[in-house]
Amino acid sequence: MANQNEKGLKRLINACYFSAAGFKAVWIHEEAFRQEVLLFAVTMPLAIWLGQTPIEKLLLIGSIVLVLLVELLNSAIEAVVDRVGLERHELSGRAKDIGSSAVMLSLVWAAVTWTYILLGVKS
């Protein structure tokens, strides 16, 4: 790992640069991430407007942030699998399919969260 001997503030600064590089890479190479950022850009103001309490607003926004987080992890898995080899392999396909399933589950969770809050379902 690059600069793994760095300590303190220098390590944190390096981590920020590496994170920025990750965001840049996923933005350039992953259309799904760009679509989900667009979803976030549309839903965040809606969440602030439609959420009646701070907790509702946080849950609405957080459910979409969860989708972005899972997409980042899925993209990382896909990049590693592709780095190992581009030939078809059962385990490579399985890893990619499982990552895709995680993204789908996070999208379903976001839809359930939005539906539950916006329809005002009472427990």
3-class SS string, 65-78:
HHHHHHHHHHHHHH
Inter-residue contact 103 to 74 (CB < 8 Å) = yes
Q: Is 71 designated active site?
A: yes
Distance CA 53, CA 45 (A): 14
Structure tokens at 40: 């976030």
Out of 6, 30, 56, 71, the active site residue is 71
Q: Catalytic residue positions?
A: 71
